[in-house]
Each structure stands twice: as C-alpha cells, then as structure tokens.
Amino acid sequence: MNCGHVALIGRPNVGKSTLMNHLLKQKISITSRKPQTTRHRILGISTSEKGQVIYLDTPGMHHGEQRALNRYLNRTADTTLLGVDVIVWLIDGLVWQEYDDIILKKLEQAGLPVILAVNKVDKIKDKEDILAFFDQAQKRFPFHSLLPISALKGTNLEELESLLLTLLPESELIYPEDQVTDRSERFLCAEIVREKLTRRLGDELPYSLTVQVELYEELPHVTKIYIVIWLERASQKNIVIGTEGEMLKKIGTDARMDIQKLIGQKVFLKLWVKVKKGWSDNERALLSLGFNE
C-alpha cells in the first residue's frame, strides 16, 4: 500500500479546510468565510484499499501583522512542511500575489513534489484562462502536477487523491483504518464553539477571541462540557453575550447540536466569557491557551 503525509498549504481563506473535509467525507476542520479561521495543524486520515493519505490542514501562510498569534500561525504552517511526502499548494483565483513568491521559496527549500491546485474553478467562466495560468505557473516552479478543482463542489477531488497515492511511499498503514484524526473530541468540541463564534460575530472580533475547555466529563447519559471564551478587552463582552444573553445562547445552541452529532450523545454545554488582556500578542498567554505545537 502507499501511505504518507500530505501538507495542504496556501494563503488564508483559499479553502484548505473545506478541501480536507470533502476529501475525508466528514467534517474535521472548522470553516468560515473569514481568513485565518484555522489556527492549529489539523490531521485528517483517509484510508482506502489503495493506501492511506494523511492530510495536514494548516493555518494560512500570510504576512503583515506581527502579533505573537500571527507568528505562531506562520510557524505552524512552515513546520508542517517538515516530514511530509507531498505538498498540495491551494490557490484561489488566477492571479499571483506578492506573498506567493515567498511561498515559492519555501517550496524550493522543501525539495518535495508539489501539486498546484486551483480551487473554486466553478467560478471561472473561461477555462482557457486556467490553461494560460498553468502555463505561466510551470515557468515559475517545476510543479509535479497542476489541477483545477472545486473543494466545495467536489470537482476533480478523486483525481487529486489518486494522484497523491501514486506519489506516496510504499508502507504499512500508519494509523488504524477506522481513525480519521489524531485530535481528541475535547479539542474538536472547542473548535466547534470557535466556529460558531466566528460565523455569528462581525469581521474583527473573531481575531480577538479564543476558546479553552475547562471541563470535559463523560457521564453514562450525558457529556458535560464547560468552555471559556477568552477576549482581549472587556468592551467586547457585550458583543459576544448580546442583549439579555441572546447571542451567547444562539452560539451555545449551534455548537451543542454539532457536538452531539460528533460524539453521539446528549451534551450539556456551558459557556463563560472572560477577558485576558492582550492574549494574542503574548507568547506566554498563547502557551497557556493551548498554542503550543
């Protein structure tokens, strides 16, 4: 069998998490329309008769803000390139951006086979434009393959996985065939809460919050989960809580329904909102909140 690790990389918000979820045919990574939703390396395992592809969903590679959290996200994305067998570089649209040149240098240093996947091709009207872009891309870097895909629509995803299997080394299964991730249910529950916060709140606030599980207790007929939502400023609490607690109640309801589907049991979910000033630009605070990969 062919088994190995595949890094999914790219700029923020190009669809890496959506791609991995659709390749796995189940939701492992949280998604939203807001950039930098993915903050941790998320591992997803796809096992078939032909082999095992271990996908690594990464935070988006970016530049600009120099907060400790942004440095952490870039470090996590960069270190994912170490120890993998293949890289899938996902891009959105047919335009090279400034930071793409930096990504190309990282790929040159990695010295691995790279597949360039253009996502959201269903939105590109003239397919000749894709061919012209691929011709230009091949002059920039010796890509192993170039593939137009749509993560959301499922376009060419089977072709992508078949191609990846041919590039992976022969090996025994690395993970049990029924395992789909290395993340705990505790971690996944926290991510679900953060997803609901990101989707419900405005454009800026999601970048100033994080979540932390304080209690995860599995009882015979119910799982009790207590989660703290950490904010950077006290003035943000009213936005998250809402009038008479209405916003927090909606977020809790949305999250509880998804968590119950995940763990297959009734869930008692309790959310608190607290303030840890400047946590996103404090290395020690990041470590205490679980940013320690």
State pLDDT tens for residues 148-205: 999 999 999 999 999 999 999 999 999 999 999 999 999 999 999 999 999 999 777 8
* Domain assignment present for 293: no
Are 13 and 155 within one domain?
Answer: yes
Tokens 């454009």 belong to residue: 203
Q: Which of 61-65, 136-140, 217-221, 251-255 has the lowest mean pLDDT?
A: 61-65
Is a pLDDT exceeding 90 seen at residue 123?
A: no
Count of other CB atoms within 10 angstroms of residue 173: 13
> What is the maximum span of the chain, computed from C-alpha positions, in angstroms?
60
Prediction pTM value: 0.93
Coil, strand or helix at 83: coil
Are 21 and 149 within one domain?
Answer: yes
Amino acid at 289: L
> What span, in angstroms and rounded, lies between the C-alpha atoms of 28 and 182?
10
**The token pair that represents 98 in the structure block:** 């400034």
Are 137 and 252 within one domain?
Answer: no
* Domain assignment present for 174: no
> What span, in angstroms and rounded, lies between the C-alpha atoms of 273 and 67?
22
Structural domain of 273: 185-288
> What span, in angstroms and rounded, lies between the C-alpha atoms of 273 and 241?
8
Are 152 and 8 within one domain?
Answer: yes
Residue 15: phi and psi, rounded to 5, are: 110, 20
Are 39 and 102 within one domain?
Answer: yes
Are 125 and 252 within one domain?
Answer: no
- What confidence score (pLDDT) does residue 64 get? 67
* Domain assignment present for 264: yes
> What span, in angstroms and rounded, lies between the C-alpha atoms of 253 and 80?
34
> What span, in angstroms and rounded, lies between the C-alpha atoms of 154 and 146?
16
Are 35 and 138 within one domain?
Answer: yes
Coil, strand or helix at 59: coil
Give the tens place of pLDDT for each residue, 194-210: 999 999 997 778 889 99
Q: Using an 8 Å Cβ cutoff, are 160 and 115 in contact? A: yes
Domain count of the fold of the chain: 2
Q: Which of 1, 8, 31 is nearest to 191 (CA)?
A: 31
* Domain assignment present for 176: no
* Domain assignment present for 172: no
Are 140 and 193 within one domain?
Answer: no
CATH code of 202's domain: 3.30.300.20
* Domain assignment present for 228: yes
| Reported confidence tier of residue 53, pLDDT bands at 50, 70, 90 | very high
Mean pLDDT for the chain? Answer: 94
Amino acid at 62: H
Are 39 and 158 within one domain?
Answer: yes
